[in-house]
Every structure is written in structure tokens, then in C-alpha cells.
Amino acid sequence: MNSGTAASPLRWAMILLAFFATLTNYLDRQALSVAAPILQVQFHLSDIDYSRILFAFMLAYTIMNGISGIWIDRLGTRVGYGLFVGWWSLCALLHAFARGALSLGVLRFLLGMGESGNWPGAVKVVAEWFPLEERSLASGIFNSGSAAGAILAPPIVAFIVLKFGWRSAFATVGALGFIWLIIWSGFYRSPVARLSETPLARPVPLRRLLRSRFVWSFTISKIFIDPVWYFYTFWFPEYLFHSRHFDMAAIGSYAWIPFFIAGIGSIGGGLISKIFLSHGMRVTGARKSAVTVASLLMALAIPAVLVQGVALSIALVSLAMAGYTAALANMLAMPSDVFPPDAVASVYGLASMGSGFGGMVFALITGWLVQHYSYVPAFLLFGLIPLVCIFVQWAFMGPLEQQLETVEEAAPSCP
């Protein structure tokens, strides 16, 4: 990205749009987990039934992640990102018409198809508008929308459920996405400086992406870190309900706290990387070191399930979730460290497709562990698997700078 685009103050408005898209994404996603205790009773759902509904979401999310990024790269950020937001908002609204486990599973599948476009689209916004030294911070800002959505979901959804019923809750959060879509369609444009001053790059062929050392190691590292967030997103209200004996009102009052801390962690993780870069550390060391520190923080999930005090348990979960978002802020910046803007949505989508398979498997494992044992082995599992992410990045990913040079040689500018 050229300096003209990097200096444009509009880049902060653009990343705020991505922030609000991510916020609505998580309001739609979290509505089910907040309403789950009531839906389990009304539709006679076991923990395994609930895990299968989550599996349906993850199946569609996983499959479409491999496609959504490619579509957004081909259609452009404005059209591609907008189409996915419109799709998932409609599907979230249709949850109001669910009649049982099967219809919930189908609707979650359709929701997963649409929600797969959020992170590839937002990563593309970062690549188009931000220079290298600001990308982790920009990524942290838009990704903090997931925490903001998860913060708002428990009190908002719980209030609507208690006052108007769970169907109204799904209809309300689904409708918010269409407000965002109107603003996005009228406001977003690709950066003028990039279009007018920077020569166009040939798209990196898909076969080259699939052979890339970075893409494979990045994908494997995501397989062992992203399911941690899925666990907290989908199971934390259930954990409070069954293990800590919270009612719906208490869930609405307290379940937002870890997500608030996670939002701080998202921006903090981006700042850590920026500080490392400002002190002369190369991009590889800055990104991987920040991910390492953050991943170690995620091990605090283990004592969280063992302590007696509810307040201490929530505090430890909060720190573990902040560790995840801090790590992700840096991982979101990695594709744009290596690939040109016209390829980053495809790269992140392909990697998320791999991590989605991990999320599917871990969702089923979680349901089985909780139903047959307890939440203790589940928290132990998700406190330890981020260590695999760290190992893969340091042992197999290699220097990001060298891979950037290779990609640029392979994809020269068009005449």
C-alpha cells in the first residue's frame, strides 16, 4: 500500500464499518447460545443435540470459508462483503420461525454460510487501507466487534427473550444487519490512492496459494486456536447455567464480562505487535512473539473451571479470552504481511476453512465431554491446544518477509 492511502483519515472510518459488521455478526451468532437454555427445554434438546446444531453451523461456515474469500476477492470488497452481510442477516431473522432441532440445525447451517464472509471481507479492508505497521491494530479494532457483539448479546437477547419471547430476539438482531448494509452500500469505496497510483497486481493463482508454506502452516495454527473462541462463544452461557447455576437474568447480567475483556485484549494484541515493530523487531518476530504471549495467557482457562468462587472463575475465563483475541489480532494481519490485497481474502478464507473443520470436531468433542463427564476436561482441552498453535508458527511457518518476496516475484504488476 502506498503512503497516500496509508495517510488517508478515511481508513479509520472504513475499519469502523468492519467493526460494526463484526458486531452484528456476533449478535446474530450469540443469540442462540443466550437463548439455548430456554430452547433446550422447549424443543427437548440434549447437550449432544445442541452440539449437533452447532456442528451444522460450523459445517457450513467451514465449507464456505474456502469460497467466501475467493468470491470477495473477485467481486470486490464493497459488493462481496455486502452480499455476505445481507445473507447472514436474513438467515438470523429466519431463526424466529424455528420449530425444533431440525429447523434450528438448517437455519444455523444457512447462517454459517453467510457469516463465513465476515473475516475475509474485513481482512481485505485492512489490506486495502492500512500500512504494515498499522495492520495488527486495525485488525484488533475490527475484531473487537466480535467481543462487542458478544458483550451486547447476553443483556439484549435475555431482555427481549424475557419480555417478548425468543422469536422476537432472533428477529431483532437479524434486522440490525440490514441497517449496516444500507450504510455500507452508500459509503464504502476502494481507496482512491491505490486505484490511481499503485499498479494493479495479477491475482495470485489458487494453486499457488494451496502450495504456499505460509497458507498450510497458518491454517494448521488456526485449527488449534480458533476452536477455543468457539467454545467460549457457544458454551459459556451453558456453563454458567448448568455448572454455576445461573438463571436467564443472571446470564444476561454477567455473561458479557469475559467478552468485554476480550475486546480490550483484541486492541491490546494489536498494540503489542506495533510496539515490537517500533523497537526494530522484524515483522516475523513481532507477529509470532505477540501470538506466543497471548496464547500462553489462554492457559488460564484450566484453573477457571476448578476454582470455587464464581467471580474468580469469570475473571480467569476473561483473561483467557483476552489472550485469544490478542493472538488473533496479529494472526489477522499475517496474510496481508505476505500477500497483496487482491489475495488476502482468499488466503484467510482458505485458512479459516481448515480451522472450521477443527471447530466442527472440537464442538462434537465438547458436547460428548460435557454430557458424559463435565466441563472440567473441556476447559483443560481448550487451555492446552493453543500451545500447538505456537509450536506450528515457530517451527513451520518460516519468515514472513521471505515469503512476501517470493509472492511478489510470482505475481508481477500488470502493464
| The total number of residues written for the chain in this structure | 415
* Confidence at 203, pLDDT banded by 50, 70, 90: low
Q: Which of 164, 334, 314 shows the shortest CA–CA distance to 251?
A: 314
pLDDT of res. 230: 84
What lies within 8 Å, CB to CB, of 400 at 6+ separation is 214, 283, 284, 287, 334, 337, 338
Q: Is this model's pTM higher than 0.85 or not?
A: no
Q: Which of 358, 346, 407 shows the shortest CA–CA distance to 123?
A: 346
Q: Which three cell numbers stand for residue 256?
A: 458479557
- Euclidean distance between CA atoms 336 and 338, whole angstroms: 5
pLDDT digits (tens, 9 = 90+) for 216-260: 999 999 999 999 988 887 788 888 888 888 887 787 778 788 888
Q: Which three cell numbers stand for residue 154?
A: 447476553
* Confidence at 52, pLDDT banded by 50, 70, 90: confident
Quick check: 317 pLDDT over 70? yes
Domain map (residue ranges) of the chain: 18-187+208-408
Quick check: 198 pLDDT over 50? no
pLDDT digits (tens, 9 = 90+) for 34-50: 888 888 888 888 878 88
- Euclidean distance between CA atoms 90 and 84, whole angstroms: 10
Most confident of 6-10, 252-256, 317-321, 358-362: 317-321
Q: Are 55 and 363 in contact (CB under 8 A)?
A: yes
pLDDT digits (tens, 9 = 90+) for 159-184: 898 889 889 999 999 999 999 999 99
Class level of CATH domain 18-187+208-408 = mainly alpha
Quick check: 390 pLDDT over 80? yes
Quick check: 262 pLDDT over 80? yes
What lies within 8 Å, CB to CB, of 22 at 6+ separation is 118, 119, 122, 142, 143, 144, 145, 146, 148, 149
Quick check: 411 pLDDT over 80? no
pLDDT of res. 196: 39
DSSP string of 40-96, one letter each residue: HHHTT--HHHHHHHHHHHHHHHHHHHHHHHHHHHHH-HHHHHHHHHHHHHHHHHHGG
pLDDT of res. 5: 44
